[in-house]
Amino acid sequence: MPATKKKLEDRAAVIKALGHPSRLLIAESLMKGEMCVCDLKDLVGADMSTVSKHLTLMREAGVLNCEKRGLNIYYSLACDCLGDFLRCVDRLACGGKKTTCC
Amino acid sequence: MPATKKKLEDRAAVIKALGHPSRLLIAESLMKGEMCVCDLKDLVGADMSTVSKHLTLMREAGVLNCEKRGLNIYYSLACDCLGDFLRCVDRLACGGKKTTCC
DNA sequence: CATCTATTTGGCGAAATAGCCAAATAAAGC
DNA sequence: GCTTTATTTGGCTATTTCGCCAAATAGATG
């Protein structure tokens, strides 16, 4: 059966959660291990509130988990399949743009 | 080395090209084989110009190839790794949203 | 050449997204 | 309990994205 509208939207939300340069950078960095918001703020170089909103969006899409320890909140990837995911993205990105059709 | 800004943007563009319900539906359908624009228009159920713009965006991101035969233009996936990609997305989407952190 | 068909392009208004600031919250330590 | 530190939330503006319509383009066919 064709995916329901809701299912399509949920999947699109997952993908959208990774389809932004800052969020992609965050995801790539988290492949090496969890990080707290202030570390990610330094990494991304944006306002902490902006980073926090990116993280919330990614968490709500199901891409990230988080855990509070002491004063910090540590974010981590929800799934280790992101490696393959990003490898595929790289292959496609390297394919280069086809600017015209025929 | 950390991915350059340009590289991040290119990859984000690839991901964004899949991060929309209609475009995701298109990509999933193309896994079964190429389709022309008017077929995809029926599939998506939007204006042909809207579908065409989705397709152009996906092609420019490097996700789709296209080929003209007769009056029709046939679109196809640029990479067969999309299967794994979507499997990963499914796993993440099924994980369910974590609405609160701790 | 005139016409028909498939597709793309331009333009516009509506909706969603991004990023900053300031304020609110929550837990830790004195 | 007050202060400090880490993070989130609310609000605002600017930018981007979406989807329709109408017009333009490109071949195919008569």
In angstroms, the CA of A55 and the C1' of C18 are apart by 13
Task: Indicate the pLDDT class of residue A73, thresholds 50, 70 and 90.
Answer: very high
Q: Which residue is nearest to nucleotide C26 (CA to C1')?
A: A71
Which positions of strand D lie within 7 Å of protein CB atoms?
5-11, 17-23, 26-29
pLDDT winner (highest mean) among A50-54, B7-11, B81-85, B98-102: A50-54
Q: pLDDT tens digits, residue range A25-45? A: 999 999 999 999 999 999 999
The partner residues of A77 in beta bridges, in order of sequence, read A64
- CA B77 vs CA B23, B61, B89: distances in Å: 12, 12, 17
CATH code matching the domain that covers A5-86, chosen among 1.10.940.10, 3.40.50.970, 1.10.10.10, 2.40.30.110: 1.10.10.10
A88: Cα within 13 Å, side-chain hemisphere: 21
Q: Domain segments of chain A: what residues?
A: 5-86
Do A28 and A20 touch, CB atoms closer than 8 A? no
Q: pLDDT tens digits, residue range B15-65? A: 999 999 999 999 999 999 999 999 999 999 999 999 999 999 999 999 999
Q: Is the dihedral of CA B28, B29, B33, B39 positive or negative?
A: negative
Best CA proximity match to B78, nearest among B52, B54, B91, B60: B60
- Is B49 near strand C, with its CB below 7 A from some atom of it? yes
Q: Between the CA atoms of A62, A81, A70 and A37, what dihedral angle is there, to the nearest 10 degrees?
A: -70
Strand nucleotide closest to residue A71 (CA to C1') = D6
The residue of chain B nearest to residue A80, with distances taken between CA atoms, is B88
CB atoms within 10 A of CB A89: 27
**CATH code of domain B5-83:** 1.10.10.10
